[in-house]
Amino acid sequence: MNDKDFEKIEQLLQTTEFSELSQAEKELVLAQISETDYSAMRELYVHVKSTNPEEIIPSPLLKSKLDKALRARKTAPAIVRIQMPLYQVAAVALLFLMVGVGINYTSKTPEKIVTNTIREVKYINRPVREVRYITIQAKYVQKLQPAGEAEPQVSTADSQIIYPEIVTETNPEVIRQQEIAMTNVQRVLNGQNGSSMGSDTVLQKMMVTLY
Amino acid sequence: MSLLTHGGQSTFDELYQRYSKPLLNFFFRMLNGDREKAEDMLHDLFLKIIEKPESFDGNKRFNTWFYTLASNMIKNEYRSRQIKSQHITDTINLIQEYEFNSENLDHQLFENRLQTELNKLDPDTKTIFNLRFHEEMSVKQIAEIMDCPEGTIKSRLFYLTRQLAGKLAIYKPN
Protein backbone atom coordinates (compact mmCIF):
# COMPACT_ATOMS: atom_id res chain seq x y z
CA MET A 1 0.00 0.00 0.00
CA ASN A 2 1.48 3.33 -0.97
CA ASP A 3 1.36 6.47 1.12
CA LYS A 4 -1.48 8.03 -0.82
CA ASP A 5 -3.69 4.95 -0.46
CA PHE A 6 -3.05 4.83 3.26
CA GLU A 7 -3.97 8.46 3.77
CA LYS A 8 -7.08 8.07 1.64
CA ILE A 9 -8.27 4.92 3.41
CA GLU A 10 -7.61 6.42 6.82
CA GLN A 11 -9.62 9.46 5.93
CA LEU A 12 -12.51 7.26 4.79
CA LEU A 13 -12.33 5.20 7.98
CA GLN A 14 -12.71 8.33 10.05
CA THR A 15 -15.63 9.76 8.09
CA THR A 16 -17.59 7.23 6.05
CA GLU A 17 -19.38 3.93 6.62
CA PHE A 18 -18.66 1.20 4.07
CA SER A 19 -22.16 1.34 2.68
CA GLU A 20 -21.74 5.02 1.95
CA LEU A 21 -18.55 4.63 -0.04
CA SER A 22 -18.51 5.32 -3.76
CA GLN A 23 -17.68 2.54 -6.14
CA ALA A 24 -14.15 3.80 -6.68
CA GLU A 25 -13.62 4.14 -2.98
CA LYS A 26 -14.93 0.65 -2.39
CA GLU A 27 -12.53 -0.70 -4.97
CA LEU A 28 -9.68 1.16 -3.31
CA VAL A 29 -10.61 -0.20 0.12
CA LEU A 30 -11.26 -3.76 -1.01
CA ALA A 31 -7.88 -3.82 -2.75
CA GLN A 32 -6.28 -3.57 0.72
CA ILE A 33 -8.75 -4.95 3.28
CA SER A 34 -12.08 -6.79 3.45
CA GLU A 35 -15.44 -5.16 4.17
CA THR A 36 -15.48 -6.77 7.64
CA ASP A 37 -12.09 -5.38 8.46
CA TYR A 38 -13.15 -1.96 7.19
CA SER A 39 -16.25 -2.01 9.43
CA ALA A 40 -14.29 -3.08 12.49
CA MET A 41 -11.61 -0.47 11.92
CA ARG A 42 -14.28 2.14 11.41
CA GLU A 43 -15.80 1.20 14.79
CA LEU A 44 -12.44 1.68 16.45
CA TYR A 45 -11.94 5.13 14.97
CA VAL A 46 -15.43 6.18 15.96
CA HIS A 47 -15.12 4.84 19.46
CA VAL A 48 -11.79 6.53 20.15
CA LYS A 49 -13.07 9.81 18.79
CA SER A 50 -16.26 9.65 20.82
CA THR A 51 -14.63 8.63 24.02
CA ASN A 52 -13.57 11.53 26.18
CA PRO A 53 -10.60 10.18 28.01
CA GLU A 54 -10.16 11.36 31.52
CA GLU A 55 -7.90 14.39 31.51
CA ILE A 56 -5.95 15.39 34.56
CA ILE A 57 -4.34 18.65 35.54
CA PRO A 58 -0.86 18.90 37.05
CA SER A 59 -0.89 19.67 40.76
CA PRO A 60 0.36 23.14 41.86
CA LEU A 61 2.95 21.51 44.09
CA LEU A 62 4.71 20.19 41.01
CA LYS A 63 5.15 23.69 39.59
CA SER A 64 6.50 25.05 42.87
CA LYS A 65 9.11 22.25 43.00
CA LEU A 66 10.25 23.05 39.49
CA ASP A 67 10.43 26.79 40.24
CA LYS A 68 12.62 26.03 43.21
CA ALA A 69 14.93 23.92 41.05
CA LEU A 70 15.14 26.70 38.48
CA ARG A 71 16.05 29.27 41.16
CA ALA A 72 18.69 26.94 42.58
CA ARG A 73 20.27 26.54 39.17
CA LYS A 74 20.39 30.29 38.71
CA THR A 75 22.22 30.85 42.03
CA ALA A 76 24.69 28.01 41.68
CA PRO A 77 28.25 29.15 40.73
CA ALA A 78 29.30 28.48 37.17
CA ILE A 79 31.90 25.95 38.12
CA VAL A 80 29.28 23.81 39.87
CA ARG A 81 27.20 23.81 36.72
CA ILE A 82 30.00 22.29 34.73
CA GLN A 83 28.92 18.79 34.05
CA MET A 84 31.30 16.14 33.02
CA PRO A 85 30.49 12.60 32.15
CA LEU A 86 31.26 10.21 34.93
CA TYR A 87 33.75 8.24 32.85
CA GLN A 88 35.81 11.39 32.25
CA VAL A 89 35.92 12.15 35.97
CA ALA A 90 36.99 8.57 36.67
CA ALA A 91 39.68 8.75 33.97
CA VAL A 92 41.15 11.96 35.42
CA ALA A 93 41.14 10.55 38.94
CA LEU A 94 42.88 7.39 37.72
CA LEU A 95 45.49 9.46 35.92
CA PHE A 96 46.30 11.45 39.06
CA LEU A 97 46.50 8.24 41.05
CA MET A 98 48.93 6.66 38.61
CA VAL A 99 51.13 9.77 38.59
CA GLY A 100 51.22 9.77 42.37
CA VAL A 101 52.09 6.09 42.55
CA GLY A 102 54.80 6.54 39.91
CA ILE A 103 56.43 9.38 41.85
CA ASN A 104 56.35 7.30 44.99
CA TYR A 105 58.11 4.38 43.32
CA THR A 106 60.82 6.42 41.61
CA SER A 107 61.90 8.44 44.61
CA LYS A 108 64.59 6.64 46.55
CA THR A 109 64.33 6.84 50.20
CA PRO A 110 67.77 6.65 51.80
CA GLU A 111 68.11 3.64 53.96
CA LYS A 112 68.84 4.41 57.46
CA ILE A 113 71.30 2.08 59.03
CA VAL A 114 71.01 1.90 62.70
CA THR A 115 73.72 0.34 64.70
CA ASN A 116 73.47 -0.32 68.26
CA THR A 117 76.57 -0.87 70.27
CA ILE A 118 76.13 -3.14 73.11
CA ARG A 119 78.81 -3.17 75.67
CA GLU A 120 78.98 -6.37 77.50
CA VAL A 121 81.32 -6.76 80.35
CA LYS A 122 82.74 -10.18 80.77
CA TYR A 123 84.72 -11.09 83.70
CA ILE A 124 87.41 -13.49 82.79
CA ASN A 125 88.56 -15.65 85.53
CA ARG A 126 91.83 -16.72 84.12
CA PRO A 127 95.01 -17.29 86.05
CA VAL A 128 98.00 -15.45 84.85
CA ARG A 129 100.66 -17.95 84.09
CA GLU A 130 103.13 -15.89 82.32
CA VAL A 131 104.88 -12.81 83.38
CA ARG A 132 106.71 -10.91 80.88
CA TYR A 133 109.30 -8.49 81.73
CA ILE A 134 109.68 -5.67 79.50
CA THR A 135 112.55 -3.37 79.31
CA ILE A 136 111.73 0.14 78.60
CA GLN A 137 114.49 2.07 77.09
CA ALA A 138 115.09 5.08 79.11
CA LYS A 139 114.87 8.17 77.12
CA TYR A 140 117.32 10.86 77.27
CA VAL A 141 116.25 13.06 80.04
CA GLN A 142 116.98 16.56 80.52
CA LYS A 143 120.15 17.00 82.32
CA LEU A 144 119.56 18.61 85.63
CA GLN A 145 122.95 18.79 86.89
CA PRO A 146 123.22 20.75 90.01
CA ALA A 147 125.74 23.48 89.84
CA GLY A 148 129.22 22.52 90.91
CA GLU A 149 128.83 18.83 90.65
CA ALA A 150 130.86 16.62 88.42
CA GLU A 151 129.47 15.57 85.13
CA PRO A 152 127.85 12.14 85.04
CA GLN A 153 129.59 9.16 83.74
CA VAL A 154 128.58 8.01 80.39
CA SER A 155 128.49 4.32 79.71
CA THR A 156 129.41 3.74 76.17
CA ALA A 157 128.35 0.14 76.28
CA ASP A 158 124.69 0.80 76.19
CA SER A 159 124.83 4.40 75.41
CA GLN A 160 122.51 5.13 78.14
CA ILE A 161 122.74 8.02 80.32
CA ILE A 162 121.66 7.21 83.76
CA TYR A 163 121.14 9.66 86.42
CA PRO A 164 120.55 7.51 89.52
CA GLU A 165 120.45 10.44 91.83
CA ILE A 166 118.14 12.48 89.77
CA VAL A 167 114.84 10.85 90.55
CA THR A 168 112.67 13.75 91.14
CA GLU A 169 109.22 14.86 90.20
CA THR A 170 110.64 16.66 87.25
CA ASN A 171 111.56 13.37 85.60
CA PRO A 172 108.20 11.63 85.31
CA GLU A 173 109.33 9.27 82.65
CA VAL A 174 111.96 7.73 84.86
CA ILE A 175 109.51 7.47 87.72
CA ARG A 176 107.01 5.64 85.57
CA GLN A 177 109.51 3.14 84.38
CA GLN A 178 110.56 2.25 87.91
CA GLU A 179 106.96 1.85 89.04
CA ILE A 180 106.21 -0.57 86.31
CA ALA A 181 109.22 -2.59 87.12
CA MET A 182 108.33 -2.72 90.82
CA THR A 183 104.79 -3.75 90.05
CA ASN A 184 105.94 -6.68 88.00
CA VAL A 185 108.39 -7.77 90.65
CA GLN A 186 105.80 -7.71 93.37
CA ARG A 187 103.41 -9.66 91.28
CA VAL A 188 105.83 -12.40 90.67
CA LEU A 189 106.81 -12.52 94.31
CA ASN A 190 103.23 -12.66 95.55
CA GLY A 191 101.87 -15.21 93.15
CA GLN A 192 102.58 -18.93 93.63
CA ASN A 193 101.91 -20.25 90.20
CA GLY A 194 101.25 -17.00 88.72
CA SER A 195 98.76 -14.54 90.05
CA SER A 196 95.01 -14.79 89.71
CA MET A 197 92.88 -11.98 88.76
CA GLY A 198 90.07 -13.30 90.80
CA SER A 199 90.75 -11.07 93.73
CA ASP A 200 92.13 -8.23 91.79
CA THR A 201 89.20 -6.01 90.97
CA VAL A 202 91.37 -3.48 89.25
CA LEU A 203 92.71 -6.01 86.84
CA GLN A 204 89.27 -7.36 86.30
CA LYS A 205 88.02 -4.03 85.27
CA MET A 206 90.87 -3.64 82.90
CA MET A 207 89.88 -6.77 81.02
CA VAL A 208 87.03 -5.51 78.87
CA THR A 209 85.83 -7.14 75.78
CA LEU A 210 84.27 -5.07 73.18
CA TYR A 211 82.02 -6.70 70.84
CA MET B 1 15.96 27.62 25.08
CA SER B 2 18.78 30.15 25.20
CA LEU B 3 16.62 32.27 27.48
CA LEU B 4 16.04 29.25 29.67
CA THR B 5 19.79 28.62 29.77
CA HIS B 6 20.17 31.98 31.48
CA GLY B 7 17.48 31.09 34.01
CA GLY B 8 14.49 32.90 32.52
CA GLN B 9 11.52 32.30 34.85
CA SER B 10 9.00 33.71 32.43
CA THR B 11 10.29 31.48 29.63
CA PHE B 12 9.96 28.45 31.81
CA ASP B 13 6.46 29.46 32.90
CA GLU B 14 5.43 29.72 29.25
CA LEU B 15 6.79 26.27 28.40
CA TYR B 16 5.17 24.75 31.46
CA GLN B 17 1.80 26.27 30.71
CA ARG B 18 1.82 25.00 27.12
CA TYR B 19 3.08 21.50 27.56
CA SER B 20 2.53 20.33 31.13
CA LYS B 21 -1.10 19.23 30.71
CA PRO B 22 -0.81 17.36 27.37
CA LEU B 23 2.40 15.68 28.51
CA LEU B 24 0.89 14.71 31.84
CA ASN B 25 -2.09 13.12 30.08
CA PHE B 26 0.23 11.37 27.66
CA PHE B 27 2.07 9.84 30.59
CA PHE B 28 -1.25 9.12 32.28
CA ARG B 29 -2.53 7.09 29.31
CA MET B 30 0.78 5.31 28.72
CA LEU B 31 1.03 4.35 32.38
CA ASN B 32 -2.52 2.96 32.60
CA GLY B 33 -4.00 5.73 34.66
CA ASP B 34 -1.27 5.89 37.30
CA ARG B 35 -1.55 9.57 38.19
CA GLU B 36 1.21 9.60 40.77
CA LYS B 37 3.71 8.03 38.42
CA ALA B 38 2.60 10.29 35.58
CA GLU B 39 3.29 13.38 37.72
CA ASP B 40 6.67 12.00 38.74
CA MET B 41 7.66 11.54 35.14
CA LEU B 42 6.40 14.99 34.21
CA HIS B 43 8.51 16.44 37.04
CA ASP B 44 11.56 14.53 35.85
CA LEU B 45 11.06 15.69 32.29
CA PHE B 46 10.87 19.38 33.18
CA LEU B 47 13.74 19.01 35.63
CA LYS B 48 15.84 17.65 32.79
CA ILE B 49 14.92 20.68 30.71
CA ILE B 50 15.95 22.99 33.57
CA GLU B 51 19.26 21.27 34.20
CA LYS B 52 20.24 20.59 30.60
CA PRO B 53 18.61 23.13 28.32
CA GLU B 54 21.59 22.74 25.98
CA SER B 55 20.35 19.22 25.17
CA PHE B 56 17.55 20.72 23.07
CA ASP B 57 17.78 19.52 19.50
CA GLY B 58 17.56 22.66 17.44
CA ASN B 59 16.49 20.66 14.37
CA LYS B 60 13.18 19.73 15.98
CA ARG B 61 10.22 21.71 17.08
CA PHE B 62 9.52 22.07 20.80
CA ASN B 63 6.47 19.86 20.58
CA THR B 64 8.34 17.09 18.84
CA TRP B 65 11.31 17.37 21.17
CA PHE B 66 9.15 17.18 24.32
CA TYR B 67 7.32 14.11 23.12
CA THR B 68 10.61 12.48 22.07
CA LEU B 69 11.86 12.88 25.63
CA ALA B 70 8.56 11.63 26.98
CA SER B 71 8.48 8.53 24.78
CA ASN B 72 12.06 7.66 25.74
CA MET B 73 11.13 7.97 29.41
CA ILE B 74 8.15 5.69 28.82
CA LYS B 75 10.35 3.08 27.16
CA ASN B 76 12.69 3.11 30.13
CA GLU B 77 9.79 2.82 32.51
CA TYR B 78 8.37 -0.17 30.66
CA ARG B 79 11.69 -1.87 30.82
CA SER B 80 11.94 -1.37 34.52
CA ARG B 81 8.59 -2.59 35.72
CA GLN B 82 5.56 -4.65 34.82
CA ILE B 83 2.50 -2.56 34.14
CA LYS B 84 0.18 -4.98 32.41
CA SER B 85 -0.80 -6.98 35.43
CA GLN B 86 -1.91 -3.83 37.27
CA HIS B 87 -4.17 -2.74 34.44
CA ILE B 88 -5.94 -6.09 34.24
CA THR B 89 -6.91 -5.67 37.87
CA ASP B 90 -8.18 -2.16 37.18
CA THR B 91 -10.22 -3.42 34.24
CA ILE B 92 -11.96 -5.99 36.33
CA ASN B 93 -12.82 -3.38 38.93
CA LEU B 94 -14.20 -1.07 36.24
CA ILE B 95 -16.49 -3.77 34.86
CA GLN B 96 -17.86 -4.49 38.30
CA GLU B 97 -18.53 -0.80 38.85
CA TYR B 98 -20.67 -0.60 35.72
CA GLU B 99 -22.34 -3.96 36.09
CA PHE B 100 -25.86 -2.67 36.60
CA ASN B 101 -25.66 0.17 34.05
CA SER B 102 -26.61 -1.47 30.75
CA GLU B 103 -26.58 1.72 28.73
CA ASN B 104 -22.86 2.19 28.77
CA LEU B 105 -21.85 -1.32 29.63
CA ASP B 106 -20.96 -2.21 26.07
CA HIS B 107 -19.10 1.03 25.71
CA GLN B 108 -17.14 0.38 28.86
CA LEU B 109 -16.42 -3.18 27.92
CA PHE B 110 -15.16 -2.01 24.55
CA GLU B 111 -12.97 0.57 26.21
CA ASN B 112 -11.64 -1.88 28.75
CA ARG B 113 -10.89 -4.43 26.12
CA LEU B 114 -9.13 -1.79 24.04
CA GLN B 115 -6.94 -0.82 26.97
CA THR B 116 -6.18 -4.45 27.66
CA GLU B 117 -5.06 -4.99 24.11
CA LEU B 118 -3.05 -1.78 24.10
CA ASN B 119 -1.24 -2.91 27.20
CA LYS B 120 -0.06 -5.98 25.40
CA LEU B 121 1.71 -3.84 22.83
CA ASP B 122 5.33 -2.86 22.95
CA PRO B 123 6.04 0.73 24.09
CA ASP B 124 6.79 2.02 20.58
CA THR B 125 3.56 0.74 19.08
CA LYS B 126 1.49 1.96 21.99
CA THR B 127 3.16 5.37 21.71
CA ILE B 128 2.29 5.55 18.02
CA PHE B 129 -1.34 4.74 18.81
CA ASN B 130 -1.61 7.38 21.54
CA LEU B 131 0.14 10.06 19.50
CA ARG B 132 -2.10 9.41 16.48
CA PHE B 133 -5.48 8.81 18.13
CA HIS B 134 -5.29 10.91 21.30
CA GLU B 135 -2.72 13.62 20.58
CA GLU B 136 -3.92 13.78 16.94
CA MET B 137 -0.45 14.26 15.58
CA SER B 138 0.37 13.89 11.92
CA VAL B 139 2.37 10.97 10.58
CA LYS B 140 5.26 13.30 9.92
CA GLN B 141 5.36 14.48 13.53
CA ILE B 142 5.13 10.93 14.83
CA ALA B 143 7.99 9.91 12.53
CA GLU B 144 10.16 12.70 13.97
CA ILE B 145 9.37 11.74 17.55
CA MET B 146 9.94 8.04 17.01
CA ASP B 147 12.91 8.68 14.74
CA CYS B 148 11.42 6.41 12.09
CA PRO B 149 10.62 6.87 8.41
CA GLU B 150 7.09 7.99 7.67
CA GLY B 151 6.40 4.87 5.66
CA THR B 152 7.23 2.74 8.67
CA ILE B 153 4.85 4.74 10.84
CA LYS B 154 2.05 4.41 8.27
CA SER B 155 2.40 0.66 7.86
CA ARG B 156 2.64 0.09 11.61
CA LEU B 157 -0.38 2.27 12.19
CA PHE B 158 -2.45 0.52 9.56
CA TYR B 159 -1.50 -2.94 10.76
CA LEU B 160 -2.13 -1.97 14.39
CA THR B 161 -5.56 -0.55 13.64
CA ARG B 162 -6.58 -3.66 11.74
CA GLN B 163 -5.31 -5.96 14.46
CA LEU B 164 -7.07 -4.10 17.27
CA ALA B 165 -10.28 -3.83 15.31
CA GLY B 166 -10.30 -7.58 14.76
CA LYS B 167 -9.95 -8.29 18.47
CA LEU B 168 -12.60 -5.76 19.46
CA ALA B 169 -15.18 -6.72 16.87
CA ILE B 170 -17.35 -8.58 19.38
CA TYR B 171 -17.48 -5.54 21.64
CA LYS B 172 -19.15 -3.25 19.12
CA PRO B 173 -20.63 -0.47 21.30
CA ASN B 174 -23.96 -0.09 19.39
- In chain A, which residues have their Cβ closer than 8 Å to the Cβ of B9? 67, 70
Whole-model pTM: value is: 0.57
Give the mean model confidence (pLDDT) for residues B92-105: 50
Q: What is the block-wise mean pLDDT of chain A (211 residues), using blocks of 10 residues?
A: 82 91 92 90 87 82 90 69 75 89 72 73 68 60 52 49 47 58 63 55 54 41
Answer whether residue A8 is part of any domain: yes
Residue B91: give its domain's CATH number. 1.10.10.10
Number of domains into which chain B is organized: 2
**Do B125 and B163 have their domain in common?**
yes
Single out the residue in B24, B54, B81 at which a domain terminates.
B81
Strand partners, A160: A155
Domain that holds residue B117: 84-174
Asked whether residue A207 is assigned to any structural domain, the reply reads yes
Choosing from B81, B102, B137, the residue where a domain stops is: B81
Predicted local distance difference test score (pLDDT) of residue B54? 76
Compare all CA atoms of chain B with the CA of A45 and give the residue at the minimum distance: B133
* pLDDT confidence bin for B172, thresholds 50/70/90: low
- Judging contacts by C-beta atoms under 8 Å, the chain B residues touching residue A57 are 21, 24
Last residue of a domain, one of B58, B81, B104: B81
pLDDT at B127 over 70: yes
Q: Give one word for A107, left, alpha or beta, with left for phi > 0 and alpha for psi -120 to 50.
A: beta
Percentage, residues of chain B above pLDDT 90:
35
At B145-166, the pLDDT tens digits run: 999 999 999 999 999 999 998 8
Nearest-neighbour CA in chain A from B20: distance (Å): 7
Q: Tell whether B116 and B142 lie within a shared domain.
A: yes
How many CB atoms are located within 10 Å of the residue A201 CB? Answer: 10
A92 and chain B in contact, CB less than 8 A: no
Last residue of a domain, one of A30, A50, A70: A50
Asked if residue B108 and residue B166 are part of one domain, the reply reads yes
Question: How far from A164 is each of A146, A151, A159, A175, CA to CA, in Å?
Answer: 14, 13, 15, 11
B106 and B170 part of one domain: yes
Same domain flag for B46 and B128: no
Rounded alpha-carbon distances, angstroms, from residue A73 to A139, B4, B155: 104, 11, 44
- Does residue A190 lie within any of the structural domains? yes
As a whole number of Å, the end-to-end CA separation of chain A is 109
Closest Cβ opposite residue A48 in set B133, B157, B158: B133
Contact B7 A59 (CB under 8 A): no
Alpha carbons B60 and B50: distance in angstroms, whole number: 18
The span from the CA of B65 to the CA of B1, in Å, is: 12
Contact A37 B38 (CB under 8 A): no
**Chain-chain contact of A47 with B39 (C-beta, under 8 angstroms):** no
Q: What is the mean pLDDT of residues B10-22?
A: 90
Q: CB–CB of A44 and B151 under 8 A?
A: no
Domain count for chain A, please give it. 2
Span B124-141, mean pLDDT? 91
Residue B86 pLDDT greater than 90, yes or no: no
CA atoms within a 13 Å half-sphere pointing along the CA-CB vector of B144: 15
Rounded to 5 degrees, what are φ and ψ at A77?
A: -65, 155
- My answer on whether B106 and B136 are in the same domain is yes
Please name which of B1, B43, B62 lies closest in space to residue A68, comparing C-alpha atoms: B43
Query: pLDDT band at B142, cuts 50/70/90?
Result: very high
Q: Residue A46 falls within a domain, yes or no?
A: yes
- Residues of chain B with Cβ-Cβ distance to A74 below 8 Å are 7
Contacts of B53 (CB under 8 A, 6+ apart): B1, B2, B4, B5
Residues A125 and A203 in one domain: yes
Residue B61 has pLDDT above 70, yes or no: yes
**Whether residues B157 and B140 fall in one domain:** yes
Q: Which domain holds residue A183?
A: 120-143+153-211
Q: Looking at residue A204, what is its pLDDT?
A: 55
ipTM, two decimals: 0.73
Domain assignment of residue A67, yes or no: no
Q: Which of A12, A43, A49, A67 should be substituted to probe chain B, the one whose Cβ sees the most B Cβ atoms within 10 Å?
A: A43
* Helix ranges, chain A (H): 3-15, 23-30, 35-50, 60-75, 78-81, 86-106, 172-190, 201-206
Residue A57 lies in a domain: no
Residue A112 is assigned to a structural domain of this protein: no
Chain B residues whose CB is inside 8 A of the A44 CB are 114, 161, 164-165, 168
Question: Is residue A136 situated within a structural domain?
Answer: yes
